Structure 1
Amino acid sequence: MSYDTDHVRNAGRTPERITGIQAFTDLVDNAALAGLYTSIRNRETATGPELVDKAAVSKKTVYDYLHKLERAGLITEAGAENGAATYTAEDFEMTLTVRDVAVSITPALVEVLSRRDEYSVIDRILEEHGLLTFALAHDLVRAHNEGDITIRQIGDLTGLSSGMTYDLVDAIYAIRGFGEKPSSPETYTPDNVGSEQPDTDSTEE
Structure 2
Amino acid sequence: MVSSFVTLYKMSYDTEHVRNSGDTPGMITGIPTFTELLENPSLAALYTSIKRSESTTGPELIEAMNVSKKTVYDYLHKLEQAGLVSKVAEEAGTAVYTAEEFELTLTVREAEVSITPELIEVIAHKDEYPAIERVLEDHGIVTFALAHDLVKEHSEGDVTIRQIASLTDLSPGIAYDLVEALYSILDLGDSESAPTTYTPGDFDEDDGDLLEELTDK
TM-score normalised per structure 2: 0.75
CA distance in structure 2 between the partners assigned to 1:188 and 1:59 by the alignment:
52
Equivalent position of 2:141 in the other structure: 131
Q: Which consecutive unaligned segments of at least 5 residues does structure 2 have?
A: 1-29, 202-217
Return the match for 1:44 from 31, 54, 57. Answer: 54
1:194 equivalent in structure 2? none
CA radius of gyration, larger in: 1
The 1:167/1:66 distance shift into structure 2, 3 A limit, reads same
**1:80 CA drift (Å):** 1.7
For each residue in 1:11-54, what CA deviation from the matched residue of structure 2 results, as whole angstroms up to 9, or x when unmatched?
A: xxxxxxxxx92111110000000000000000000100000001
Do 2:89 and 2:96's aligned partners in 1 also have CA atoms closer than 8 Å? yes
Greater relative contact order (CA < 8 Å, ≥ 6 in sequence):
2
User: Runs of at least 4 residues of structure 1 off by over 6 A?
Assistant: none
When the two chains are superposed, the root-mean-square deviation of aligned CA atoms in Å is 1.6
Structure 1 residues 50-77: Cα deviation after superposition (integer angstroms, max 9, x where no partner): 0000111111000000000000000000
Q: Which residue of 2 aligns with 1:115?
A: 125
Distance, in Å, in 1 between the alignment partners of 2:49 and 2:90 is 18
How many residues in Structure 1 have an aligned counterpart in Structure 2?
Answer: 170
**CA deviation string 1:119-171 (max 9, x = no partner):** 11100011111111000000000111122111111111011111100000000
- Give the structure 2 partner of residue 30 of structure 1: 40
CA 155–78 in structure 1, closer or farther in 2 if over 3 Å, else same: same
User: What SS does the aligned partner of 1:97 have?
Assistant: strand
Equivalence map 1:147-166=2 (5 Å): 147-166=157-176
Structure with greater proportional helix content:
2
Normalized against structure 1, the TM-score is what? 0.79
The corresponding residue for 2:194 is 182
Structure 1 residue ranges without an equivalent (≥5): 1-19, 190-205
Identity %: 58
What CA distance in whole angstroms lies between the structure 2 residues aligned with 1:179 and 1:69?
A: 32
